[in-house]
């Protein structure tokens, strides 16, 4: 059985994960509007991944005998100054999510909730990859500067992203 305190914290994280999905879908729409279909594709896959992360917590709460409570999802930003700004916002958001996961782990440790600590270990590892992936894209955009040809090439590269069935990537 999961404690009420951990149940509430995990329910809050479900909301954060679904907000993340919603944010990335908003970014995909922005990129579509900018005719950057590769960037849009990358963000659409990120949307799917974040939705899976939320559902994983949803199932965990249920498996532990808790009660899932879904709250309203905040409206995300819809437009960014340029593609770099959108990916910088994504990177900042991933850092925020990492902090939230760290806080969940601290709570699990305080509560001696070893099962939740084990469950959260996957998220801690996932956030390393999430931040590294987005940071790599930000660094590439920084190298490109205002070169439209480089943007075209980067957009084509981002269109190649695929999710693998075993990791959610």
Domains (ranges, CATH) in the chain? 4-158 (1.20.1260.10)
Q: What is the pLDDT of residues 17-75, one digit of tens each?
A: 999 999 999 999 999 999 999 999 999 999 999 999 999 999 999 999 999 999 999 99
Quote the tokens at residue 55.
Answer: 């559902």
Confidence class for position 167, pLDDT limits 50, 70, 90: very low
Please determine, for residue 161, whether its predicted confidence score (pLDDT) is greater than 80.
yes
Task: Specify the pLDDT at position 139.
Answer: 97
Q: What is the pLDDT of residues 95-150, one digit of tens each?
A: 999 999 999 999 999 999 999 999 999 999 999 999 999 999 999 999 999 899 99
Angle between helices 83-110 and 114-144 (to 10 degrees): 160
Closest CA relative to residue 44, chosen from 61, 71, 68, 26: 26
Helix (H, G, I), strand (E, B) or coil at 1: coil
Q: Kindly report the backbone phi and psi dihedral angles of residue 35, in degrees, each rounded to the nearest multiple of 5, phi listed first.
A: 60, 35
Angstrom distance (rounded) from CA 2 to CA 65: 7
Please determine, for residue 91, whether its predicted confidence score (pLDDT) is greater than 70.
yes
Quote the tokens at residue 10.
Answer: 């995990």
């Amino acid at each position: 059985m999961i404690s009420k305190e951990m149940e509430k914290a995990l329910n809050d994280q479900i909301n954060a994960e679904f907000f993340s999905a919603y944010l990335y879908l908003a970014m995909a729409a922005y990129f579509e509007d900018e005719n950057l279909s590769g960037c849009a594709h990358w963000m659409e896959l990120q949307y799917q991944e974040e939705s899976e992360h939320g559902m994983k917590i949803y199932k965990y709460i249920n498996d532990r005998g808790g009660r899932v409570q879904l709250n309203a999802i905040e409206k995300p930003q819809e437009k960014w100054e340029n593609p770099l700004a959108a990916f910088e916002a994504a990177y900042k958001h991933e850092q925020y999510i990492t902090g939230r996961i760290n806080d969940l782990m601290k709570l699990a440790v305080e509560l001696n909730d070893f099962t939740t600590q084990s469950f959260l270990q996957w998220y801690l590892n996932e956030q390393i990859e999430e931040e590294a992936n987005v940071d790599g894209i930000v660094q590439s955009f920084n190298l490109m500067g205002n070169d439209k040809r480089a943007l075209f090439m980067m957009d084509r590269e981002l269109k190649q992203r695929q999710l693998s069935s075993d990791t959610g990537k």
